[in-house]
Amino acid sequence: MSNTTPDDRRPSLARRAALALAGAAALTGLVGAYTPSLAHAAPSSTPRYSSDFSDCPALPAGADPARWRCEVHTAAPLLTIGKVDVTLDPIIMTHAEGQMPDGTWGQVWGAMHSTPTTVPGGLTGTAAGERTRQLRLAIKPEYGGRSDFYTGRLSLRFRLSSPLLPHGCTIGASAPVDFQVKRSGPSKWVSQDPPVIEFSAYDDTFTAPRPSTAGP
């Protein structure tokens, strides 16, 4: 006998996913950097994740490349979803920062890459057996349009995918989730050439809106 779940459960499941996300996030990250004025090549390997500088953005008009650097952040965020800790697949973010022609400091966003991560226990947190496939849930972080790497601010959206959720169900679609990340200890030099720094950070104060296009 097949195990089915009525469609009228979709809204509550979507809300459950959103409310559960309002918890805590921690990450361990690697930052690699290079100065745009120097010749460079992508490192052949990194201590944890492979990344390169191909997403480094163009600098503002009139900016001196010698006063700028491009950074590639490789992060493995740990999200607390209800009672389940989920380590997201690696997120790779690229940006450039440096001195503007008027002497102020500026930043230019490059790109973000991520992949969906399966949430243990699915939509209910307890899915098992025949219900596992139907109640499975995956979450994929996407750039929310705001970032400030000087202060640790970053906005993200979270795309949810499940057989029981409509296509496009997203937490933070119209109002991205704002993170104010704080360092949780000293950074550590992993490599000098290329320069790679490892650090840990967290945010235990963020809140998430309910998903959009995921039911009433």
Residue 59 domain flag: yes
50 pLDDT higher than 80:
no
Q: Per the structure block, which two tokens stand in for 73? A: 């952040």
- The predicted-structure confidence for 158-167, as pLDDT tens digits, reads as follows 998 888 888 8
Q: Are 168 and 145 in contact (CB under 8 A)?
A: no
Residue 211 domain flag: no
144 pLDDT higher than 90:
yes
Mean model confidence pLDDT for the chain? 74
Q: Which domain holds residue 64?
A: 14-36+47-203
**Concatenated DSSP letters of 39-72:** -----S--SS----STTPPPPPTT--GGGEEEEE
Within 13 Å and on the Cβ side, how many CA atoms surround 3? 9
Residue 158 domain flag: yes
> pLDDT band for position 211 (50/70/90)?
low
**Concatenated DSSP letters of 159-214:** EEE-TTS-TT-EETSSSPEEEE-EE-S--EEEEETTEEEEEEEEES----PPEESS
Task: Summarize the confidence of residues 95-103 as an average pLDDT.
Answer: 94
31 pLDDT higher than 70:
no
Domain total of the chain = 1
Residue 210 domain flag: no
Residue 183 domain flag: yes
Give the pLDDT score at 100: 96
What pTM did the predictor assign?
Answer: 0.73
DSSP 8-state code for residue 90: P
Distance CA 37, CA 56 (A): 13
Residue 114 domain flag: yes
193 pLDDT higher than 80:
no
Least confident of 96-100, 111-115, 126-130, 139-143: 126-130
Residue 138 domain flag: yes
> pLDDT band for position 19 (50/70/90)?
very low
184 pLDDT higher than 70:
yes
Residue 91 domain flag: yes
Q: Nearest-CA neighbor of 214 among 20, 9, 23?
A: 9
Q: Identify which has the larger pLDDT, 92 or 49.
A: 92
